[in-house]
Structure 1
Amino acid sequence: MNKLKNKSTLMLAVIAVAISSLLSACHSEEKEKESAEEQQEQAVETPAVELTPVKKGKLSSNITIPGELIPYQQVDLYAKINSYVKKLLVDIGSEVHQGQLLVVLEAPEINSQLAGAQSRIKQQEAIYYASKATYDRLVNTSKTPGTVSLNDLEQAEAKKNSDLANVEAAKSAYKEVSANLAYLEIRAPFDGVITSRNVNLGAYVGPGGKGSDPLFTLQDQKRLRLVVSVPESSTGALSNKTEVNFTVKALPSEKFTAQVKRLAGALDEKLRSERLEMDVYNKDKKLLPHMFAEVNVPLPGGDSTFVVPKTAVVTSTEKVFVIKVVNHKAQWVDAKKGLTSGDMMEVYGDLKPDDKLVKVATDEIRDGSTVKDK
């Protein structure tokens, strides 16, 4: 009986110890859980942030935009008068020089008009010579007093002058008709390449001919214009001293350079962008007009501005801002973005050098909340 009693007592003691240990462990877990919750609440209420100072600086950036190569000069050549194509001296791909004869036209009626104009000159000259002879005789006769009235003399002089004017008018009409002969020969206005031909021998051309189709299209391809449209946000850094790089799909392994020569100085109303033109010298003719190009336009930094990490700038649905920390209090400061380069960005706002900003900012750090340094 004593042995049985001792065993029961021992078992009760073991159970009591186990229960005590279990209660102690539970109590410890509850304390740890409460401590973790307190730390979590404290971290939410007072987040630890890494700060970065505001510094003055200049950033240089670049943008890649599409561009187009167009001829430096291009002209469509038309026939000014109704005529027929008599000779074609060039074709597509022909290289021509300024003043070179390209096509000869034929208009038989012009020869008839020219002959008629010449006949009218002779007719008016004959009338003039007759009235001049009459006037000269009256002048000689009037030297004898009382033989010719002054009125008759004045009338003869007026007739002579009128006939002389008719002679000059006839000569002007002749020049007008003869000038049309020059239009029967079409010459190149500048050095270039014929890129299109829309007529054949014997074709009827002119105002009543093939309508608006030109006879030829002439392009200057030794120098091209590289045209790009720069978005409004990047126009402030543009300069006519900028040199750009570009590539074309036809020659992907080659990189070309060009100098900015012309700035539009105004924004396109539809695209809200500024037109830039660069001169590209193309003596080897690797580049063709109307090729598309990928253009890398450098954007040098302007006046010294505030430069901060891009992670310090928050873009929300409401606004763009940075978070300044003053006496462990977060302050939202409205900001405007500038150029970006790598991990840095220009910002404009109510900031001062050496202000402390949250390096990795989010809108979860509320305005006026307490923060602490990491």
Structure 2
Amino acid sequence: MKRYKWLIISIAIILIVAIWFWKFRSKAAPVLVETEKPTYGFIANAITATGTIQPVDTVSVGTQVSGTIKYIYADFNTTVKKDQLVAELDKSLLQAQVDQYKANLSAARDQLAYQQSNFARQTQLFQVGAISKADFETAQFQFNSAKANVAAIQAQLASATQNLAYTNIYSPIDGVVLSRNVNIGQTVAASFNTPTLFIIAKDLTKMQVQASVDEADIGNVEKGQRVTFTVDAFPDDVFNGTVQEVRLQPSTSANVVTYVTIIDAPNNDLRLKPGMTANITIYTKEVKNAMLVSAKALKFKPDSALLKDYIIVGRGDTSHARKEPGFYRSKRPDTLKTATDTSKRLTSPDEAAHPASVWLKHGDTIIRRRILTGMNDETNVQVVHGLDTSDIIVNDARQVTKKEKAAAAKSPFMPSRPRRGGR
């Protein structure tokens, strides 16, 4: 009897230990495999810069003569036409000079008429021997001097008349006045340089952005590339433009070398104004309707944690992987040639295809697949060859935490337990 008693106690202890081990032992956290499928979309390589919006054509209107501003006929934002009068200088001094030269010219012409008559008379007397040759040459010299004097005064009168005409300031182009730098009564001096009275923009519907592109990015910028930019005045609107030229003269500031890049920017609605700061994106390379996978899918590599739930084919040894159906054998010449041809069709001529690999999920099997990739924007990668939209790609694998497991097990239809003190 005593022996059976110890046997029953031993069996009970074993059962208690087994039940405790079965119920309370720590279970290995399950592995969550995240997957995706290739999609078609837009991918591009782009660089960013800042710039200033400016009119394409601007003209500085000045004066070639000194004087005092008497009248102004144009102001800021005034629309002007070519040869329209925009300002006048005081004409009194220049008009007096013109009148003086006219009087001098009249006197010179009278003198010329007298010398011409005297020369004709002296010529007749010299021909009959009534005067000496010296007297004849003197009359001839005086006649020629009178002609030269008339020509000189005519030139002075023409110059004074032109200077008088310069007191009228006309617009050289059709456009809009951006700046007026003078006021009525102000004296302008044109002795050493031409003073600027107005700045006129030819056509505000055609603007340009003068961008400063860093030397590290300028090598990829070319004429004709697509550009988008925003301005602080319209933060929700995106404006479009095109690279027109890259100027070769560099600019250095704080040891940073930049190059001026001119970008054409249509402005038909006149919302862009001169001087605005533009935040620019230049698309150096872009592909529309490209097959894309996430960049992290190329970085994923299966580890031993997946072995308890999945069969991994191709990790470290591709001999088994090549036996899997649909596996891309990159070393076969005909397949590689097809992949290269495909890359030429889907990418730009200077965009090379790069070998890479992803892991595909087929049921409980994870298989390595070699592919060719094109552009990479650090978020998505273009797939040139090796995948189709039906493939399931593994991009991450991690163990589920206790909190995530509890949240998944909790039914969304069960009411939550009220907190202490709640109503």
TM-score, scaled to structure 2 = 0.54
Q: 1:109 maps to which residue?
A: 93
Q: Superposition pairs for residues 58-137 of structure 1, below 5 Å? A: 61-137=45-121
Question: Aligned AA for 1:189?
Answer: P
Distance 2:49 2:186 in 1: 46
Q: Tell me by how many angstroms 1:79 deviates.
A: 4.0
CA distance in 1, matches of 2:180, 2:219: 44
State the Cα distance separating 1:275 from its structure 2 match.
Answer: 1.2
Letter of the 1:188 counterpart = S
Q: For 2:169, which of 186, 194, 199 is the aligned residue?
A: 186
Residue among 213, 226, 247 paired with 1:264: 247
Matches within 5 A, 1:357-372: none
Alpha-carbon distance in 2 for matches of 1:88, 1:296 = 43
- CA-CA distance at 1:214 after TM superposition: 4.3
Per-residue CA deviations over 1:113-161 (Å, capped at 9, x if unaligned) read: 11111111112212222222111112223332x3343343333222212
Q: What is the alpha-carbon distance in structure 2 between the residues aligned to residue 68 and residue 308 of structure 1?
A: 42
Match of 1:228 in 2: 211
Which AA in structure 1 matches 2:130?
T
1:342 to 378, 388, 401: 378
CA contact (8 A) 2:222 2:245 kept: no
Equivalent of 2:126, from 142, 151, 154? 142
Which residue of structure 1 lines up, in the alignment, with residue 265 of structure 2? 280
Q: CA deviation at 1:308?
A: 7.5
**Displacement of 1:228:** 0.8
CA distance in 2, matches of 1:268, 1:91: 35
Q: Tell me the distance in 1 between the aligned counterparts of 2:250 and 2:354.
A: 28
Q: Does 1:296 align with 2:276?
A: no
CA change 1:68–1:140 in 2 (3 A) is same
1:195 deviation in Å?
A: 2.8
Give the aligned CA root-mean-square deviation in angstroms: 3.0
Aligned amino acid, residue 177 of structure 2: I
Q: Which moved more, 1:77-86 or 1:250-259?
A: 77-86
CA contact (8 A) 1:195 1:219 kept: yes
Q: Deviation per CA, 1:30-66, whole angstroms, max 9, x where unpaired?
A: xxxxxxxxxxxxxxxxxxxxxxxxxxxxx96211111
- The residue identity in structure 1 corresponding to 2:258 is S
Q: Aligned in 2, Cα 1:106/1:151: closer, same or farther, shift over 3 Å?
A: same
Residue ranges of structure 1 left out of the alignment (5+ in a row) = 1-58, 310-338, 346-374
Shift of 1:246: 1.2
1:206 is aligned to 2:188? yes
Output the CA distance in 2 between the equivalents of 1:303 and 1:122. 79
Which residue identity is paired with 2:200? L
TM-score w.r.t. length of structure 1: 0.60
- AA at the equivalent of 1:263: V
Q: Following the alignment from structure 2 to structure 1, what is the Cα–Cα distance between the partners of residues 50 and 349?
A: 24
Is 2:108–2:150's contact at 8 Å kept on the other side of the alignment?
yes
Aligned length: 255
| Amino acid across the alignment from 2:199 | T
CA distance in 1 between counterparts of 2:120 and 2:199 reads: 60
* Equivalent-residue separation in structure 2 for 1:204 and 1:286 (angstroms): 34
Q: Is the 8 A contact 1:78 1:206 kept in 2?
A: no
Change (3 A) 1:266 1:86: closer
Asked if 1 retains the 8 angstrom alpha-carbon contact of 2:63 and 2:195, the reply is no
Which has the higher relative contact order, 1 or 2, with Cα contacts under 8 A spaced 6 or more apart? 1
- Write the distance in 2 (CA, Å) between the matches of 1:308 and 1:268: 39
- 2:71 counterpart letter in structure 1: K
Preserved contact between residue 48 and residue 279 of structure 2 (Cα < 8 Å): yes
